[in-house]
Amino acid sequence: MILKKRAHSGSGIELIIIGSVIFLIVISIIIIVQKETGESKRQELYQEAGKVGNIISTEVENAKSSPGTYSRKFFVPETINGREYVLYHKKTEVIITVSGVEYVLFIDPNVNGVLKKGWNTIEKTGNATSYSININI
């Protein structure tokens, strides 16, 4: 009786190939999930920065639309979702940057002064057609 030898080396290579393919699939899924999570966090921070922008925009629009002189104090949050952020006012732009996410707000060119975190005072002088809006001046 003659017994045939079975080759076992082929099944070892197949196992390595199958394991490698499964490993690549798992790594791909992890990368996709992390990317989606990171993007949703960025979107959330952008929306929260937009809320701070809305506070500023509303105050400027209220001052602009008032028929005569206007003066009011308003509060700009110190943090966004517990994170520090940068608030920068340059002529007609207010830029809010939090954790690498930038929100840009365009405001009236008649706005002068320096926006800051915390309490701000906004004042309008003039009338409906010729006016100046000052913040913290």
Q: Per residue in 81-123, pLDDT tens?
A: 899 999 999 989 999 999 999 999 999 999 999 999 999 999 9
Q: What is the DSSP string of 99-137?
A: TTEEEEEE--TTEEE---SEEEEEEEEE-SSSEEEEE--
**pTM of the full predicted structure?**
0.73
Alpha helix stretches (DSSP H) within 66-97: none
**pLDDT tens per residue, range 23-55:** 999 999 999 888 888 788 899 999 999 999 999
60 by Cβ neighbours in 10 Å (0-12 / 13-18 / 19+) ranks as buried
